Structure 1
Amino acid sequence: MKNRAGQPVFPTWRELLERAAQRLLDDHKVEQAQAVRARLDRGEYLAAAQLARDGLRGRRWRDFLLHQFDPDIADIDRSTLAWAESIWSLGSNVVVTTNYDRVLEWASPHPPACEHWPTRVPADYLAALAGRTEKPAVWHLHGMIQQLDSIILTSEDYDRLYSSSLQKRFSAALATLRSFLTRKSFAFFGFGFMDERLLEELLAVVDDCRGSTGPHYAFVHRDECERLSPRVGELNLELVTFDEFGPPLVQLVRELGEARTRRFPRLTSSLNMQAPSPPAGAGEFGPSRVGGNECVTERG
């Protein structure tokens, strides 16, 4: 995703934390800024995010996140919405994302009518399970910029959503995600095993159902197939490989949408793995872009 000047709109995960450290320096919080950078240098991204939020409390943290993830649509190069628009062409009315931004809503077939669901279980999730959603909807599994208190960004946030000792506000959301993974087919885009906690949930569902879930699909660049293949087998995924990012990939997805002889299951979904993610995946499989869909369009 780019602006009219041709610059990326959203930061990478590392860029986000480096900017947070700089903001701490600007506030004369030298020790806290150094602590964030030390964690970042060790690849401990979630811990670095936790320290950043602890240092930029209250309105400072709120303003920081809004500046990173809430651009004015008037500043966006609309041609760079093509990738997000292609996802909707696959025929589902519901898209699941780990991004905080509004890009998928902007790219939906009917933006004014597109619903956005926060992390908590959407009121219409039973209708979504039954394939009865009439309006396009985006489920922001890790929260959305319009509701800052819903954002899953730090180690503490991830524990609240994915921990075995779940809080009530998130336990239903996680149960809903498991239901979707069990009963629907997902198409994963930007898939690089970047979010280990989410992948653990997929593994748990596959294990509980003895491999009878899905099928689920992961769109990956041909150069990544060899290193991703071992994990793909564990996750009961089928790889859809492509040779080029950008317009060729957009065209491929659109052609798949146009060529299908029947609609994908109603919850064929995009889990955009550009959201903040644990360091193991980020270190091994390369940087991701936090927000928009730049992880796919800018890589390769």
Structure 2
Amino acid sequence: MDRLEAMSIFVAAAETGSFSSASRKLRTPLPTVSRKVAELEAHLNARLLVRSTRKLTLTDAGVAYLAACKQILEQVGEAESAAAGEYSTPRGELVVTAPVVFGRLHVLPVINEFLAAFPEIAVRLVLADRNLHLLDEHIDVALRIGNLPDSSMVATQVGTVSRVICASPHFLAEHGEPVTPADLARLACVNFDSLPSGPVWNFAATAAPQQAVSIRPRLSVNTAEAAIDAAIAGVGVTNVLSYQVARAVDEGKLKLLLRDYEPEPVPVSVMHAGQGRLPLKTRSFIDFALPRLRAALAGQNDKPRVKATARSKQKHATSSR
């Protein structure tokens, strides 16, 4: 029995909660997953998992063994990286994750330049509008949008983005331009379903507390791109992030509204796990990406932006786009 392979399969099964999920994650046949875990339990002469029709549950022995497996597999990974030269020469596969639109607009161009400069590194870019767990998903670097609670994650802020209100000039000529957030109640709106507040848009002003306005969705969509396209087509006013709409505004297809009532900008951060010595491929990408992302975000907001900070201990963002 290959114990390292069995440990890896056991960890995947424990973390995903089922053999079928572990099978999909590892791209390993389901019977193999079940057999390897059974062999491991027989080798240890201990039950690690309690199997039910709904999910797997760790036994007390399984909880302790899971922690030990994670530590052993991490040490083996670091030893292999060192032997392969990842700590002396930038090489190997680098996994980067980012929100879908931000990744396509700002991260992918940086990666394209990076690949040209570092021919021995291959990059896998995972675009997802949810926060992937860096350790569980084997992610080297993550781009996060939002405030980051403290944790063992290491994050470096590269800029900020704002939530903005916009509409097409044609729509505004026909229906009038809102002067205050309350004016949105009389206008057709395009709502982005991923907003935590739903059909309630939040605003702030220098001399007033935060305002919440219930809008009248003429159209609800589940992606920012669809909301922007609908707004350009004159369906209504929409609420998106500044970087998502920057090109349409520059081209005159959309006009920014209610600038004095925009909420405070939110930070954009580059994150990594920060555990142990950082492989050179990861350090090289971070050093390469930081100045380019800062430059890309520098023109995103007209309002004063939060100064980018040095490295700080932070956690996954509670919101991503």
TM class, shorter-chain normalised? under 0.3
TM-score of the two chains, using structure 2 as the length reference: 0.25
TM-score of the two chains, using structure 1 as the length reference: 0.26
User: Higher strand share goes to which structure?
Assistant: 2
Q: Greater CA radius of gyration, 1 or 2?
A: 2
User: Higher helix share goes to which structure?
Assistant: 1
